[in-house]
Chain A
């Protein structure tokens, strides 16, 4: 699979038809699906029709858009008009949105083609893709391992060459962690830079659409298309034209200061992950950056804070999946309305989702609000303050993306708490609403890829992608290789 900017260039200049590109992508999707269960739907007919429409535009001499013919895989919690969107849940098994998410609307207007809807943990709740009602996706580097989550299918799609670009959503690391587990780039923009309109909500104050890709130029290309104010999202940042492509190709990092987070770069990480951090430090120094250490004293409370705020919001966001509209009603004609709602929710929402709804409901309950949700909001502010302080001294903050590389399916699924603790590095950016990117950092244990994470202040996204492009330029071909998955 070529990069998005290469495909668009070929299609726009008539070297290759959009149809040929999309057919190849669909064939690859079938092969990947057969062994890795990366997708929930593959909308073949719609994808081919979209490709033909682009070829027709080109034949008519019309501008087919800067992403003409670029196949894109979309996480199945982002609404696609006319294409089933399940959020990985049985409760939305039959939901076909009558509207497009704003990001989809903008991608399609630029000529991108949705080739598959990617597998995910139900409603984005999970770090291994094992919480999908449609079965777990698997890691293309080793099919006995998890691909990470919740945007697991999106990461698999890019790493196994179905598409150069996949959209995920990142509420506590759901784009960055699977990117690290698959050896690709996972970028979570500043909260509000990408519209959430049409993104099925998990935790509204934390959710952000993110991009999974293998090149900084591809990320810049789609960000310039998708970013910008959306009047349908009240939390969307008012901004002029985004400037991602213009910020690329940094030859060096002279004068850039990077702070490695003390609390997150020691104990709790595997040897392989720590080695990746030290390789990254060396590379940064070689490129002229100054690497120091920075303390985020409240970082250890990030997990507790996140697992109060996110479930609390989720408890309201998911209240509408009550069997009345979107799924089968259990006990209709026999039971009262409240009981039908309860039974239907029990039957169509998975165990992890139910666990989080219960936690969130509890945290908001009268008499407990101040001790749990209220306290969590205060700590959230302290974490943001810690980061603000760090950014007064450093341009970027560096952490591992995850404490380990991808683990085996079933290895952690019986211990939710252990799984929650793995989000320790990633939740900070969501709690603070800042930009973050997971950058491939070679292999950790047993030949599995791992990543390191850079955090940037809010609205410094372009600068963050510029840093990414410097690291990419220094490493060339070896930066974010495709997985060895043959299919």
Chain B
């Protein structure tokens, strides 16, 4: 049985006010092509880069969160390569003095995944190839946007672990506000390196898979590649070093390049940007303003009484965690109940609608109110579930219940009357329940139906039992 050896290279688009080396906005989403540019990011002759300290600070914060060692001095290097959407024909990146080295992330199964390094660099522009045209166009709005590149050690042994690792990286980046880390919007890109070997043997020949635009693609491409490589080796073949692409439609890898000429990027220190002294004071200031990390959130949720399974999901999903924390400010009686709603019906709704939580109009206050209404027996859990879709669209639960008269019926005389009529209409059922008291739920259901779901089921159950003397 072959064992996979997996390493990841992850690019995160940083969330900063301006680009890495000029004052243009970092996020030009939806802007007219080449409108978010200036002499610096256009690479005009004579222009010079200057360092965006917000980006350095966020990168340092991220490195610390990944347990990296942060050097006393960090420095930029030029990485030389020609590309039409790279206006300098070199990238300003980092080489031997990156912002972080030798970090790690712990997975939930206890495995420690090493992080070789974390560095800062600028993004390229975007080439556009109009259909049927004999030309290409270049949009430099993205050119110069700040990126973090992080590289792992070949410590991953399972595609599922790779996926969890990516989720943890995303959660950390989002919790710190370093990046939106959203693969669908290109804010997080991952390349994988994978080889297989028999346990105990040295690493096999690895291939690189590029163009992975979701965590699912990472997992699927790894599964596919592990199978493919294992089959070749089982048949006595050998793996050729190559760069592969991932075909999302066909769910398989395809060959991009085979002969890996070692690219010579001729790195040398960027003379336009002096090395930066980081210093203990700066690091202390960064640590002081670092928001709560997912691991600490997890500990806090467990302490609040949320079950491990739910707490894991919530702590490592930045949207859900922030929402949970807001709800808990208004409703701290039963954290597990909040978790159940978030991981259950709300997630179900979001999946069905294919929407992220923050694009809905559900407010934490509304969910807190809903939970209180259930606790006080004002509405039943069923009514609560029924009105959730309206809450997701911004409705206020108290108003909704008042307008529709959805308050639970707890008045025993009213329930008494409902029971009378149901018993009168269903004589056979009554006989059956009398014979087999376990069948009481069938009658209970009829009474609830007659009450349009508003009767308190506990009161109905005890009244029925009394009535039928069972």
Chain A residues near B (Cβ < 8 Å): 77-79, 85, 87, 92, 95, 97-99, 101, 196-201, 203-205, 231-235, 312-313, 315-316, 319-320, 322, 324-326, 333, 337-338, 341, 361, 364-366, 369, 373
Contact = CB atoms under 8 A, between A and B. Distances in A.
B48 A320 contact: no
B20 to A, nearest CB: 12
B40 to A, nearest CB: 8
Given A97-B44, A199-B46, A235 B268 contact: no
- Specify which of A85, A200, A316, A369 lies most central, judged by the most chain B CB atoms within 10 Å of its CB: A316
Contacts of A369: 266, 268
Interface in B77-95: 78, 80, 82, 84, 87-90
B273 interface: yes
A344 to B, nearest CB: 11
Contacts of B51: 234
B398 interface: no
A200 B45 contact: yes
A79 B46 contact: yes
B389 interface: no
Given A204-B271, A333-B134, A197 B84 contact: no
B33 to A, nearest CB: 15
Contact of B48 (A95, A197, A341): A197
B272 A200 contact: no
28 contacts: A77-B46, A79-B45, A79-B46, A97-B39, A97-B45, A99-B39, A99-B44, A99-B47, A197-B46, A197-B48, A204-B272, A232-B48, A234-B50, A234-B51, A234-B273, A235-B271, A235-B272, A313-B268, A316-B89, A316-B266, A316-B268, A319-B90, A320-B45, A333-B134, A361-B266, A364-B80, A365-B264, A369-B266
B84 A324 contact: yes
A233 B49 CA distance: 7
A113 to B, nearest CB: 21
A233 B46 contact: no
A203 B39 CA distance: 19
Interface in B386-419: none
B130 to A, nearest CB: 15
Given A366-B264, A366-B266, A373-B268, A92 B45 contact: yes
A316 B80 contact: yes
B321 to A, nearest CB: 38
B437 interface: no
Given A200-B45, A365-B266, A231 B82 contact: no
B305 interface: no
A85 B236 CA distance: 64
A15 B339 CA distance: 85
B291 interface: no
A129 to B, nearest CB: 20
A101 B45 CA distance: 10
A355 to B, nearest CB: 17
B245 interface: no
B43 interface: yes
A77 B46 CA distance: 8
Contact of A85 (B39, B45, B88, B266): B45
B87 A320 contact: yes
B48 A234 contact: yes
B25 to A, nearest CB: 18
Contacts of A337: 84
B46 A234 contact: no
A341 B82 contact: yes
Contacts of A319: 80, 82, 88-90
B186 interface: no
Given A322-B82, A366-B264, A200 B273 contact: no
Contact of A320 (B49, B89, B262): B89
Contacts of A232: 48, 50
A197 B47 contact: yes
B445 interface: no
Contacts of A333: 134
Given A98-B39, A316-B78, A322-B82, A78 B272 contact: no
B279 interface: no
Contact of B47 (A77, A78, A198): A198
Nearest to B78: A316
B348 interface: no
Nearest to B39: A99
Contacts of B262: 366
A234 B274 contact: yes
Contacts of B267: 364
- Specify which of B80, B84, B89, B266 lies most central, judged by the most chain A CB atoms within 10 Å of its CB: B266
Contact of B268 (A101, A198, A200, A312): A312
B267 to A, nearest CB: 8
Nearest to B263: A366
Nearest to A233: B48
A101 to B, nearest CB: 6
Interface string B3-44: 000000000000000000000000000000000000100011
A341 B48 CA distance: 23
Contacts of A204: 271-272
B46 A101 contact: yes
A231 B53 CA distance: 13
B411 to A, nearest CB: 74
Given A99-B39, A231-B50, A320 B271 contact: no
Interface in B49-81: 49-51, 78, 80
Interface in B130-154: 134
Contacts of A313: 268, 271
Contacts of B39: 97-99
B127 to A, nearest CB: 10
A77 B87 CA distance: 19
Given A313-B271, A364-B80, 14 more contacts: A87-B45, A98-B39, A99-B47, A196-B48, A198-B46, A201-B45, A232-B48, A233-B48, A313-B268, A319-B80, A320-B43, A337-B84, A341-B82, A373-B268
A119 to B, nearest CB: 17
Nearest to B84: A324
A364 B268 contact: yes
Contacts of A99: 39, 44, 47
Contacts of A196: 48
A331 to B, nearest CB: 14
A338 B83 CA distance: 9
A97 B266 CA distance: 29
Contact of A338 (B44, B82, B88): B82
A337 B49 CA distance: 27
A320 B46 CA distance: 11
Contacts of A324: 84
Contacts of A98: 39, 44
Contacts of A364: 80, 266-268
A199 B44 CA distance: 10
Interface in B273-332: 273-274
Nearest to A101: B46
Contacts of B264: 365-366
Given A101-B46, A234-B48, A320-B87, A205 B271 contact: yes
Contacts of A101: 46
Nearest to A313: B271
A373 B44 CA distance: 26
A190 to B, nearest CB: 15
A338 B82 CA distance: 8
Given A361-B266, A373-B268, A95 B45 contact: yes
Contacts of A87: 45
A87 B48 CA distance: 16
A196 B87 CA distance: 19
Contacts of B271: 203-205, 235, 313
A366 B271 CA distance: 19
Contacts of B48: 196-197, 232-234
Nearest to A324: B84
A322 B89 contact: yes
B357 to A, nearest CB: 41
